[in-house]
Amino acid sequence: MKRLDEIISSIAELSHEDLQAWIHEELVRPSEHQGTFLFDDQECARVQLICTLHYDMDVETNTLPIVMDLIDEVHEHRRQLRKLSNAILAQNADVRTAVLALLTDEKNR
């Protein structure tokens, strides 16, 4: 876990004001302990991604929530597909073969 000041000092272009605004807008959701924001690895990576989008790729501040929502949706779809894939793999060989045949048939349409 990293504190807010540790995150800011680890990313050169990140300002205290920007990070506070992203927390307020819930683009990042650190935990809070005794009045101190704490960032787990996932939230640290999220701050880094937002910094890349905003500072390096010039994504506007008012566009960041839209972009992050889309990225979150992609990640959720990937999780759902992974669960579906695992459920299919848990089936017997006949079911797996039938599913694969249907998927292959869909590609040819």
Same domain, 39 and 70: no
Q: Which domain holds residue 94?
A: 62-109
List Cβ neighbours of 13 (8 Å cut-off, separation of 6 or more): 51, 55
CA–CA distance, 84 with 89 (Å, rounded to integer): 9
On whether the CB atoms of residues 32 and 38 are closer than 8 A, the answer is yes
Residues of the chain with pLDDT > 90, as a percent, come to 91
Same domain, 50 and 66: no
Same domain, 10 and 26: yes
Same domain, 39 and 77: no
- Tell me the one-letter amino acid at 86: N
Q: Pairing relation of β-strands 2-3 and 31-33?
A: unpaired
Domain-ending residue, one of 60, 84, 101: 60
pLDDT tens digit sequence for 24-76: 999 999 999 999 999 999 999 999 999 999 999 999 999 999 999 999 999 99
On whether the CB atoms of residues 61 and 54 are closer than 8 A, the answer is yes
